Chain A
Amino acid sequence: MLRIENLSAFYGEAQVLREVSLDVAAGEVVTLVGRNGAGKSTLLRCVMGLHAGQRGTITLDGRDVTKLPAYKRARLGLGWVPDDRGAYASLSVTENLTLPPRVGPDPWPLERVYEAFPALYTRRDSAATMLSGGEQQMLALARVLRMGARLLLCDEPTEGLSPLLVQQVGDLLREAKKHGVTVLLVEQNLHFATGVADRHYLLAEGRIAEAMDNSEVRSRERELLAYLGI
């Protein structure tokens, strides 16, 4: 579904991604792990079309989208879950959910969203930034599900969440996967990652250092955690 070839990215003079190539097949959940500053978020931003300084090719369903602006990529089915959860303070919860257009074949109706997230329903007319951190994370996920996005780009969706909420996020992603949604996930929580993902890439200094499957991650958990500094 998503193919990245020889992707390099720069912030001014500094190079943050070096010739990264990877594939994500339709219906797969793939995580990117790595230390802070390894280039994980930048990679997601490149896919979304939000990063200006880049070289390489990004293909979506066989279509080269490298030159496409972000809003057009979104309309091809990309769903953006930013690391800060992207809640609009000047929009109510409902408006936050209905702002993006429907882009996929299977968008969730608003009723279904509110059924799945009763907390959002009770706060539907409040400004989104009045929600708790966990609720904001739910809002971010609910929003891309309502869009009917086919490929979710999730930047650390479990960061700062209680174990119970982490569990809930995991359930959501597994549910989405069941419906054929593809996920590219930036994650530091290895336990969570192995619970939802099929494969993992370890990103180090802007390069793909290793590709691993779940069992490999599990067996090397102690070593990896030490490496990631967690």
Chain B
Amino acid sequence: MTGFLQHTFDGLVNGAFYALLALGLAVIFGMLRVVNFAHGAFYMLGAMGAYVLLAELGVPFWWALVIMPVVLGVLGMALERAFVHRLAQLDPLYNFLLTFGLTLILQDLVKSRYGVQSIPYAPPAELNGSVDFGLFDFPTYRVFVLVFAVAICVGVWWLLTHSRVGMVVRAATERPELTRAFGINVGRWVTPVFGFGIALAGLAGVLAAPMRAVNPLMGSDLIIVVFAVVVIGGLGSIFGSVAAGFGIGLIQAWGVVYLADWPILSQTLVFIVMAAVLMWRPAGLFGREEAPA
């Protein structure tokens, strides 16, 4: 039982990263119909940025947690205006290729400056210990990651459900054309929403820096799983992406433990779940079929 609780907790921590990244992908896809392949690269930039701030400027983790999302959010908005925007009217494949190319460029830029070897980044001293939950103890930093990520997801959810901005974003996400017909300048919201999604990826990157290998390629493998998460949750479904993020984290953790004798199965579990969901509900668990107008 203790083991089960521990693994459940652990799965949620891992799921927190999926949830934050999937949430960003979902808002971007919803508003722009762009599958942002560069999301993993911005996650990487978040972590690398935290390292640069600490190692070269002496800026601690807590500030990085604020600075990196803002910096990357602004960078994201600039990229949206400069590139993504120009391809908006074309086949979505063009923007997929654009963001894919962007990923390679960002990775190689970082590579040329910092190399491929992972870079050290220690958790902040105040989160270095363990929290005793009675039945088991757990690294303080991971508890923090979970609480923080849940708070961010709840915050974003609240913003989306309780503010006029959130209402507009939901409407534009669900039916962009119809929303324009109701007098709303959907285009005006596209750039900030793109920046916001990127900022979430950067935030996840900063959170990852103390507990994962920080290197130029850290986002490129993760993003494949996150795409699966988004598909399972339903493309563009904000609630679905968060729920699927935590859900996949749990399934992976349980899978590794309870399917230990079938590593092939536990390693591909995410994609097995994805295939099953797609067969049962092609639009994803919380997705809706694309509606016209």
Contacts and interface: CB of A to CB of B under 8 A. Distances in A.
Chains A and B share a contact (CB less than 8 Å): yes
B133 to A, nearest CB: 37
Given A82-B293, A99-B167, A88 B175 contact: yes
Contact of B184 (A45, A90, A99, A143): A99
A74 B181 contact: yes
A170 interface: no
A74 B179 CA distance: 10
Interface in B172-195: 173-175, 177-186
B178 A82 contact: yes
A117 interface: no
Contacts of A82: 178, 181, 293
A99 B179 contact: yes
A57 to B, nearest CB: 20
Contacts of A98: 167
A54 to B, nearest CB: 15
Contacts of A95: 167, 171
B57 interface: no
Contacts, number: 69
Interface residues of A, number: 26
Contacts of B178: 80, 82, 86, 88
Given A86-B175, A99-B167, A147 B293 contact: no
A101 interface: yes
Interface centre among B174, B175, B182 (most CB of A within 10 A): B182
Interface in B247-288: 288
Nearest to A75: B183
Given A90-B170, A91-B167, A84 B293 contact: yes
Nearest to B167: A95
A78 B180 CA distance: 12
Nearest to B239: A90
Contact of A99 (B171, B177, B293): B171
A70 B167 contact: no
A70 to B, nearest CB: 4
Interface string B183-213: 1111000000000000000000000000000
Given A82-B293, A84-B293, A89-B288, A101 B173 contact: no
A11 interface: no
B293 A86 contact: yes
B119 interface: no
Given A50-B293, A82-B293, A84-B292, A90 B171 contact: yes
A67 B60 CA distance: 52
A143 B174 CA distance: 17
Given A50-B180, A71-B184, 18 more contacts: A45-B293, A48-B181, A49-B181, A50-B293, A70-B181, A71-B180, A71-B182, A71-B185, A80-B181, A82-B178, A86-B178, A88-B171, A88-B175, A89-B174, A89-B288, A95-B167, A99-B179, A100-B183
A74 B183 CA distance: 5
B26 to A, nearest CB: 12
A98 B168 CA distance: 10
Given A71-B180, A80-B181, A99 B168 contact: yes
Interface centre among B167, B183, B185 (most CB of A within 10 A): B183
A180 interface: no
A143 B170 CA distance: 17
B184 A101 contact: yes
A73 B288 CA distance: 29
Contacts of A99: 167-168, 171, 179, 182, 184
Interface string A56-68: 0000000000000
A118 interface: no
Contacts of B171: 88, 90-91, 95, 99
Contacts of A71: 180-186
Contact of A69 (B167, B168, B170, B180): B180
Interface in A88-141: 88-91, 95, 98-101, 103
Nearest to B291: A84
A205 B186 CA distance: 34
Contacts of B179: 99
Contacts of A86: 175, 178, 293
Interface string B225-262: 00000000000000000000000000000000000000
